[in-house]
Structure 1
Amino acid sequence: MSGGREGKGSNGCIRCICWCYCLLFLLIGIAACLAYYFYTTEKAQAPTYDIQSFQVKSLEVQPDFSLKTEFEVEVKTNNPNKNIGFKYGENSNISVLYHDSVISSGKLPAFKQDPANTTVLKISLSGTSEDEAGSLQDDMKNNKSNACLAYYFYTTEKAQAPTYDIQSFQVKSLEVQPDFSLKTEFEVEVKTNNPNKNIGFKYGENSNISVLYHDSVISSGKLPAFKQDPANTTVLKISLSGTSEDEAGSLQDDMKNNKSNGEISLAVHVRVPIKVFVGNFDLKEVLASVSCDLVVDNLEEGKTAKVLQNECEPYVEF
């Protein structure tokens, strides 16, 4: 009798263990399916990288004319995915090349990067490269001279701010919404001129352009990022949109009153980061601010307004 009870008890334990394993495998399967679902539906994006700093710790020509280098680099890596993370392995390589010659190398640290995470890595690099008769270092010195020449042009030419002129102002949409807010869509053409003979500008992405009516922003947008060479004129087509509070339609009524006079006064404000360059060398980044007083004859939907007055004042602290 006791043997029968022991047999039944052991069978019950075995069944319990089997059920636990089955449940565990089921949970693992569900987790794997969810992970695969997120991976396939989210459309995984590659991480982005940005070099934050580059420190030269050593740069020496050895007795055998090889070039010994030691650098320290800070790299910012960003994971743009909301649900997907990355694990960086140990077998990595980062190399610094000069004219297709590897002059320094090292490894990224192995680390785990969670979703929507930004991490800054400090990486030590070193190397010894063949440099017969010091030709590589001589080449670097020549480029250093060119950089000095670029700085000379920048300081002696007295950099002038680019000028701006609003060429056209098209009203694509101007509607009062049920909540009395004002919805706008404009398309503006802006001509920008670089008066410098040797100095160019690189317009960054983090810009803003706003259209104001009586100190109220009614539409806004961004300038495209672009490179403007010396003595260059470029016409930019910029799309603007916005929804502004307009209690009881007072803003639009005011516009209608001004329309009867044939003149509507607007203000256009621009803020854009600009990187100054001479030749192949980027010298410094400055913030350009532009304030324009604009007078147009109408703001009728679907029409291009006639620009009656256009005065833009740029401010750039070089």
Structure 2
Amino acid sequence: MVDPQRQRIHPVEVEARPPHPTAPLVPPGSFRSEKGNPVQVHRHPPPPHAIPATIHSPPPKRSYFCKCICWTLTLLILILILLAASAGILYLIFKPKLPNYSVNSLRITDLRLNFDMSLYAKFDVKITADNPNKKIGIYYEKGGKLSVWYTKTMLCEGSLPQFYQGHQNRTVLNVALTGQVQGGSTLMAALQQQQQTGRVPLDLNIHAPVAIKLGRLKLRKVRVLGKCQLVVDSLSSNNLISIKASNCKFRMKL
């Protein structure tokens, strides 16, 4: 049995250990080379927060349509303004006036019933065409017509001659009119009954395609439309008929 007093405790040298490192010897992201030296890997910082690009959506088709309509209307208004201004300037310079027509005489050379009961009529009409314009000439083109009507029935028709009428000129025209109307027996009876009163109403219609000349410029063709309401005393053939009343109105149509 060992004497406790003799038991001795010999101190043991404890090898000092280096303190526990607080940071890794090799920084994160490094790796060792074959020689044991750490190689530093450079990491690029993360890109900043990307700002999304603004995407402009195309305007709706309706806006394009509205813009197109607005531009078209604006252009039309400008054109109308220019045309109105040009027409106003021309009017002030040339001061246009409608031509006048008057019936000088009316002669019935033939008015009879045929065997087929159609009514044949042949008239000779003398009219005066008056151009009152000082700076405008008138070209009477092909296709002009002169016709005589009783109520709503055309008795006869003839062609106007082609000619040029100068400034402030009066021209006398002799026009031969012929026509044939079916069912003439009823029409002839109405004319004879009207003739007994001494007042026979007739309408003289004028359709004249003309071209206006402004200085040296010849404009496009227009139409002069006229109507003369006549009252004659009789419808006797081969006699000069007396015109008791005459009322003429004219207008120009493009």
Query: Under a length normalisation based on structure 1, what TM-score does the superposition of the two structures give?
Result: 0.50
Q: Tell me the equivalent position of 1:177.
A: 114
> Percent identity among equivalent residues?
28
Q: Distance in 1 between matches of 2:202 and 2:222?
A: 27
More strand by share: 1
| The one of 95, 99, 107 aligned to 1:158 | 95
Give 1:207 deviation, angstroms: 1.4
Q: Distance in 1 between matches of 2:252 and 2:178?
A: 26
| The one of 198, 208, 212 aligned to 1:276 | 212
Residues 130-171 of structure 1 show CA distances to partners (whole Å, capped at 9, x for unaligned) of: xxxxxxxxxxxxxxxxxxxxx965553331110110100010
Change (3 A) 1:313 1:167: same
More relative contact order, 1 or 2 (CA 8 Å, 6+ apart): 2
Q: Distance in 1 between matches of 2:183 and 2:165?
A: 39
Does structure 1 residue 291 correspond to structure 2 residue 195? no
Does structure 1 residue 208 correspond to structure 2 residue 149? no
Does structure 1 residue 234 correspond to structure 2 residue 171? yes
Change (3 A) 1:217 1:253: same
Q: Tell me the equivalent position of 2:199.
A: 263
Map 1:5-154 → 2, pairs under 5 A: none
SS of the equivalent of 1:178 reads coil
Q: Tell me the equivalent position of 2:240.
A: 304
Q: How many residues align?
A: 167
SS of the equivalent of 1:291 reads strand
More helix by share: 1
Letter in 1 for 2:155: I
Q: Tell me the equivalent position of 1:222.
A: 159
SS of the equivalent of 2:251 reads strand
Letter in 2 for 1:156: I
Change (3 A) 1:232 1:153: farther
Give 1:284 deviation, angstroms: 2.8
Give 1:206 deviation, angstroms: 1.0
Q: Tell me the equivalent position of 1:244.
A: 181
Query: Does structure 2 conserve the Cα–Cα contact (< 8 Å) formed by 1:259 and 1:298?
Result: yes
Query: Does structure 2 conserve the Cα–Cα contact (< 8 Å) formed by 1:297 and 1:308?
Result: yes
Give 1:294 deviation, angstroms: 0.9
Q: Tell me the equivalent position of 2:74.
A: none
Give 1:191 deviation, angstroms: 0.7
Q: Distance in 1 between matches of 2:202 and 2:133?
A: 30
Letter in 2 for 1:263: R
Unaligned runs of 5+ in 2: 1-87
Change (3 A) 1:225 1:152: farther
Query: Does structure 2 conserve the Cα–Cα contact (< 8 Å) formed by 1:153 and 1:278?
Result: no
Unaligned runs of 5+ in 1: 1-150
Q: Distance in 1 between matches of 2:240 and 2:128?
A: 17
